[in-house]
Amino acid sequence: MLRVPRSWSELDSGWMTSALGARFPGAIVGELEIGPIVDGTNSRATVSLRYSAGAGPERVFVKREGAIVQRVALVALGALANEARLFASGASLPLERPAAYAGACDRRRLAAIVVMEDVTIRGGRPNVGTSALSVGQVRNGLRALAGMHAAYWGPRLPPALSFLRPWHMAAFWAPISLASLLRAIHLLRSGGHGALLPAHGNAVRLERDFRAWSLIAANATQTVLHGDPHPANTYAISDTTIGFYDWQLVRTGTWAHDVGYFMVSCLDIDDRRTNERTLLLGYLEDLRSAGAPAPGFEEAWELYRRSPTYGLGAWLHTVAGARFHPLPDCLEVIARFGAAYGDHCAD
């Protein structure tokens, strides 16, 4: 069983040889060079590799656990080890994503690590939170999500994915969630960004709506979700393909969680307002084409229009946590979710 290194310095050539062994038998890493380490929700870096025998990728992308506050937040979401377990499972996800090379977790230390393909080697262009995706890119991303959702629609998950569960925010987290939202709202207002918040979005209501969405997501028809498909967790391969990485919040839940979160977070506000109905119709058509019993449009629309409650709450929690994402990304995505919350959740 692959162990989880205690630090980046323990990620040596012997460890990397073991990590790559299942995918690249006979490959022996002779030397490696760890690139700049970026700390956020996780600690991550690209690692360049040179082989003393066999062959493997010239460069890989490695993610490991972040600081303790990030780890505690992931524990609260039931997500600390999900990506590592997904990578270790070898399960098929029928959409564009980085090839998974290895994953391991150490629950006692609240530690996990994943080794994956560096998609930039084959032309992948990472997207960023401050730049909206085009309507065409979002349409392509929704088509990809529909294919994955349809593949796991309704029936029991295969053994490789049986560890996935719907996210449910237990009641004892509510006071912590409320305090976090109050802190985020204070930080935004004191920093001159209060206009990003919807007029009716006070902390008590937002916390109530945030928890209510977790119940909806957990009790509607279930499928496998990416769980966190905001723009900085996507990349472009050519002009027609959108890929998804950072599967740490992979879970089961309602299709509307992925669709609403992806559409609202990735589109410019005006583009979303103009195109969201057409995009939702396209997603439902793709579900049917892939063999899933898609809901009718009106039922789907009512579920979709409630989804911004989660996205706005999640990104306010991100601001309160301070070190999860750069502030400019947070402000841009909060503006998009705040507008959608005002458009759809005012009643």
Q: Report residue 72's pLDDT band, with 50, 70 and 90 as the boundaries.
A: low
Which fold does the domain 8-121 belong to in CATH? Phosphorylase Kinase; domain 1 (3.30.200)
CATH class of the domain comprising 123-344: alpha beta
- For 11, 21, 211, 248, 326, the CA distances from 16, given in Å and listed in that order, are 7, 8, 41, 21, 30
Interatomic CA distance for residues 95 and 332, integer angstroms: 27
User: How many percent of the chain have pLDDT more than 90?
Assistant: 68
Q: What is the pLDDT of residues 272-290, one digit of tens each?
A: 999 999 999 999 999 999 9
Interatomic CA distance for residues 285 and 229, integer angstroms: 20
Q: Any bridge partners for residue 44, and if so which?
A: 38, 63
**Which residue bears the tokens 């700390």?**
39
Interatomic CA distance for residues 149 and 288, integer angstroms: 11
Q: What is the pLDDT of residues 75-105, one digit of tens each?
A: 666 666 788 888 888 888 999 999 999 988 8
Judged by DSSP in three states, 242 sits in strand
Give the domain ranges of the chain: 8-121, 123-344
Q: What is the mean pLDDT of residues 61-65?
A: 90
Interatomic CA distance for residues 323 and 306, integer angstroms: 28
Interatomic CA distance for residues 161 and 317, integer angstroms: 28
**Which residue bears the tokens 């449009």?**
297
Q: Count CA atoms within 13 Å of residue 102 on its CB side.
A: 23
Q: What is the pLDDT of residues 314-330, one digit of tens each?
A: 999 989 876 677 889 99
Closest CA to 167 of 113, 211, 104, 105: 211
What are the structure tokens assigned to 140, written together? Answer: 């392509």
Residues in the chain, total = 347
**Which residue bears the tokens 């809901």?**
295
Give the angle subtended at the CA of 219 by the CAs of 216 and 222, to the nearest 5°.
Answer: 110
Looking at residue 314, what is its pLDDT? 92
Q: What is the pLDDT of residues 175-234, one digit of tens each?
A: 888 999 999 999 999 999 999 998 887 899 999 998 889 889 888 899 999 999 999 999
Cβ neighbors of 223 (< 8 A, separation 6 or more) are 148, 149, 150, 152, 153, 154, 252, 253, 254, 255, 292
Strands (E), 154-296: 223-225, 234-237, 241-244, 251-253
- Its pTM stands at 0.93
User: Average model confidence (pLDDT) for the chain?
Assistant: 91
Judged by DSSP in three states, 104 sits in strand
Interatomic CA distance for residues 79 and 332, integer angstroms: 25
Give helix 203-219 / helix 255-266 axis angle, nearest 10°.
130
Interatomic CA distance for residues 297 and 294, integer angstroms: 9
Interatomic CA distance for residues 37 and 43, integer angstroms: 7
Q: What is the pLDDT of residues 130-180, one digit of tens each?
A: 999 999 999 999 999 999 999 999 877 889 899 998 887 777 778 888 999
